[in-house]
Amino acid sequence: MKRNVYLNNQPREEALENFMRFLEEEGALKPGEPEMIPVEDALDRVTAAPIYARISSPHYHASAMDGVAVPAVKTFGASETSPKQLRADEDFIVVDTGDPIPANCDAVIMIEDVHYISNDVIEITSAASPWQHVRLIGEDVVATEMILPANHRLRPADIGAVLAGGVNEIAVHPRPKVALMPTGSELVQPGSDLKPGDIIEYNTRVFGAMVRQWGGIPLRREITVDDYELLKETMLKAVDDADILLINAGSSAGREDFTGSLISDLGVILTHGVAIKPGKPVILGAIRGKPVIGVPGYPVSAMLCMDLFVKPVIYKKLGSLPPIVPKTNAIVSRKIVSPLGMEEFIRVKLGRVGDKIIATPISRGAGVIMSMVRADGMLTVPRASEGFNVAETVEVELQRSLDEVLETTVVIGSHDIALDVLANYLRQNFPEATLSSAHVGSLGGLTALKRGEAHCAGTHLLDEETGDYNVSYIKRLLPGKPVVLVNLVYREQGLMLAPGNPKGINGLKDLTKEGVSFINRQRGAGTRVLLDYKLKELGIAPDQIEGYDREEYTHMAVAAAVAGGSADAGLGIRAAAKALGLEFISVVEERYDLCIPKEYWDTPYIQRLLKVIKLSAFQEEVYSLGGYDLRDCGKIMWEQD
C-alpha cells in the first residue's frame, strides 16, 4: 500500500462550505423520518413539525387568588367610609386559586381584603372591577394556537407549554447516529496492562460525550488494527449502521495511515488536509452518500476537528444550528508566533487583572489533552497573520463562563506543585473562585507583574552575592512598585535520577561525565538560576553538560523525562521526584514566595489565597508531598513601598 499524501491544504471556511454543499446535494443533511415521543421525554429534542394546542389553557374561567367570587356589579359603591355587606351563596362564593368561577360571578376579591362579620356575611371596603383576579379561558394558550414551530429545540418551559395545550406526544427529528471507529494497532482499552508503545484509547470516549452533548447518538466500535481489508470491512458495516462515520487516526501520511485511501476506494474525498493548526490532516468525504470524517489521532487535533467539522453536520441533521459561543476581548500576556498561511487555534488561561482580561497561552502540543482541560478559552490566529505581540488585544472564545473567569486569581511565574494543591483548596472553600497558574519562570512572573498581567507571581530567585531570595530581583525589576513578599513554602531542590541511579551520579559535578544526559529548566526559571549559580561555584561551564540546552517548563515535566529515560538527570524539587518514584540527591533548601502587588492585597483574589494557605488541611497535604517545609507559610517576608 502506497503512502498517503495530502490532497489539499484548503482554508477552513472553504473546506467546510464545500463539504456541507456536497452533503446537501446528496441529501445527507436532511433529518431522518420523524419519531413520536412523550412530551415529558423531549428535553433538548428538536421538533419535526409545528405543535398546535388541542385545548385552551386554562380551559375554564379560573380564580387567580384565594378569596371570594362575586358579581362585580354587587360591589359597586363600596368604600372605606361606606362599606358593603355581602351574603354567602347569594352575593359571594368562597374560592381557592384555580377553582372555576361560578356562572353568576365575574370577579374575585382577595381573602386579604375580606372582613367577615359572621360565617355568612362579609364586609368589603372597595369595589371589584369585572374580571379582576380571574384567569380567563385561553389566557395562556388558545386552542389551535401554535405553541412551537418546527426545528425548535425543547427547553423545560416548552415542555410545560406543550402539555398545557393538551399535547402529550410530539414528532421530533431522530438523533443522528454517529459511528466512532478507533484505528491503530498501538491502541488498548482503558484499564489494560500497559507495555511500551501502548496507547490508551480514550479519544472515542471523548467524541461520544461531544456527540451526546450535541444531540446525536454515539455508536462506538471496537479498536480496529492497521489492516487494510479489516479496516475496509469495519468501515462499510459502520456506514450501514450509522448516519455519520468518524474514523479516528490514520489520516496523516505515515506507512499505516490508510484512512484516506479507504475513503477514496469506498466513496469520495472532498478534502484531505485543511490549513489549520492543530488538525491539518483531517479528511472530509462521503461513503454511500453519508458523511465520513477522518479525524487526526492526537487528542487536541481530534477535538478541534470534531468541533469545526462534525458539530455542524450533527446540528444540520437535527434541523438546528449550533449555539453561539460566547466571546470576550483579552490582552495577550506574551508574544505568540504562528506560521503564516495556517489558521492556528491556541488554548489560553484567562483572568481579570485590574480592568483587563489577561490571556496566557498554554501548551500548544496537539497531543496534550490536559491543555484542553486547563483552557479557559481559545483564540484564533488568522491565516494571514504571524501571531500577536505582547499586550495586543485579541478575541477569545470562552470555554468557561465569564463569571468564573472574572473570579480567577491569576498567578504567573515559577512552577510549584503546592500551587496545584492551593488551587484545589481554593475551589473547595470558595466555590466561586479558581486559580490560574501559568508557568513562565520566576523572572517571567515578575515581568508579568511589571506589565500588570497577574495578581501575584511565584518566585524563588537566588541572589548569588547575598544568598537571599527574591528581594534584589524585585528591586531591580519592579523599582518603586509597592509589593508584598509572602512565603508559601521552603522546598528541597536537587538532582532527580532514574531508580537505582544506574549512571552513578552523586552530585552536580557528575553531570559532566561521559554518557550522562541532563534536562534543564527554561531560561528565567528560578531553578535554572540556581543551577547556573551552583555550576559557577564548581567551575563547570554549561557546555560541559550534555542536554544543558534542552528545556522543560515544570518540575513534573523534568521528572517525567527522567522517569521515561530520555534524560539521566534533571534539577527539580523532591516532591516531583517522589511523585514519579525517582532517586533524589538534595542540593539546597530554597525559599519559594508569592510576590503580590499591594494594589491587589485587599481584593478577594488575594485574601482568599491568604486564608487558604493558613488552613491546616492545605499545609498537611503539601507536607505529604515530600521535601517541603511550611514554617513561614503565609508570613510576610518583605515589603516594598
All cell numbers assigned to 395: 478575541
The pLDDT value given to residue 257: 65
Q: CA 448 from chain center: how many Å? A: 24
Cα angle 507, 513, 516; round to 5? 85
Of 6-15, 280-289, 298-307, 578-587, the least confident = 6-15
The pLDDT value given to residue 1: 40
Cα angle 627, 630, 634; round to 5? 145
Pairwise CA distance, residues 217 & 212, whole Å: 6
All cell numbers assigned to 480: 518603586
Segment 440-472, tens digit of pLDDT: 889 989 999 998 989 999 999 988 888 889 999
Segment 107-142, tens digit of pLDDT: 999 999 999 999 999 999 999 999 999 999 999 999
Query: What CATH architecture is 327-439?
Result: Beta Barrel (2.40)
Pairwise CA distance, residues 415 & 573, whole Å: 10
Which class in CATH covers the domain with range 445-640? alpha beta
On the question of pLDDT at 626 being above 60, the answer is yes
Residue 207 φ then ψ, to 5°: -60, -40
Candidates 585, 576, 579, 430; CA nearest to 509 is 585
Segment 138-193, tens digit of pLDDT: 999 999 999 999 999 999 999 999 999 999 999 999 999 999 999 998 999 999 99
The pLDDT value given to residue 3: 43
Pairwise CA distance, residues 630 & 608, whole Å: 18
Band of pLDDT at residue 373, cut at 50, 70 and 90:
confident
Segment 19-62, tens digit of pLDDT: 999 999 999 999 999 999 999 999 999 999 999 999 999 999 99
Q: At what angle do helices 604-612 and 417-429 cross, to 10 degrees?
A: 100
Pairing mode, if any, of strands 268-272 and 199-200? unpaired
Segment 539-560, tens digit of pLDDT: 999 999 999 999 998 899 999 9
Segment 252-298, tens digit of pLDDT: 555 556 888 899 999 999 999 999 999 999 999 999 999 999 999 89
The pLDDT value given to residue 441: 86
The pLDDT value given to residue 360: 86
Candidates 338, 271, 337, 332; CA nearest to 305 is 271
Candidates 338, 366, 343, 374; CA nearest to 249 is 366
Band of pLDDT at residue 238, cut at 50, 70 and 90:
very high
Segment 313-362, tens digit of pLDDT: 999 999 999 999 999 999 998 889 999 999 999 999 899 999 899 998 88
CATH number of 12-31+175-317: 3.40.980.10
* Cα dihedral value 420, 422, 428, 430, nearest 10: -120
Q: What share of the chain has pLDDT > 70, as a percent? A: 98
| Burial profile 136-154: b = 16 or more Cβ within 10 angstroms, e = fewer | eeeebbeeeeebbeebbbb
Band of pLDDT at residue 627, cut at 50, 70 and 90:
very high
What is the model's pTM? Answer: 0.84
Residues in the chain: 641
On the question of pLDDT at 5 being above 60, the answer is no
Give the mean pLDDT of the chain.
Answer: 93
Superfamily name with CATH number, domain 62-135 = Molybdopterin biosynthesis moea protein, domain 3. (2.170.190.11)
On the question of pLDDT at 2 being above 50, the answer is no
CATH 3.90.105.10 fits 35-57+139-172, yes or no: yes
On the question of pLDDT at 566 being above 50, the answer is yes
13 three-class SS: helix
The residues, any chain, with a CB within 8 Å of residue 311's CB and separated by 6 or more, are 210, 214, 322
The domains of the chain are located at 12-31+175-317, 35-57+139-172, 62-135, 327-439, 445-640
Candidates 304, 315, 252, 237; CA nearest to 283 is 252
Candidates 234, 200, 230; CA nearest to 219 is 234
For residue 176, whether the previous peptide bond is cis, meaning omega lies within 30 degrees of 0, is: no
The pLDDT value given to residue 253: 55
The number of C-alpha atoms within 13 Å of 187 and in the hemisphere containing its C-beta is: 20
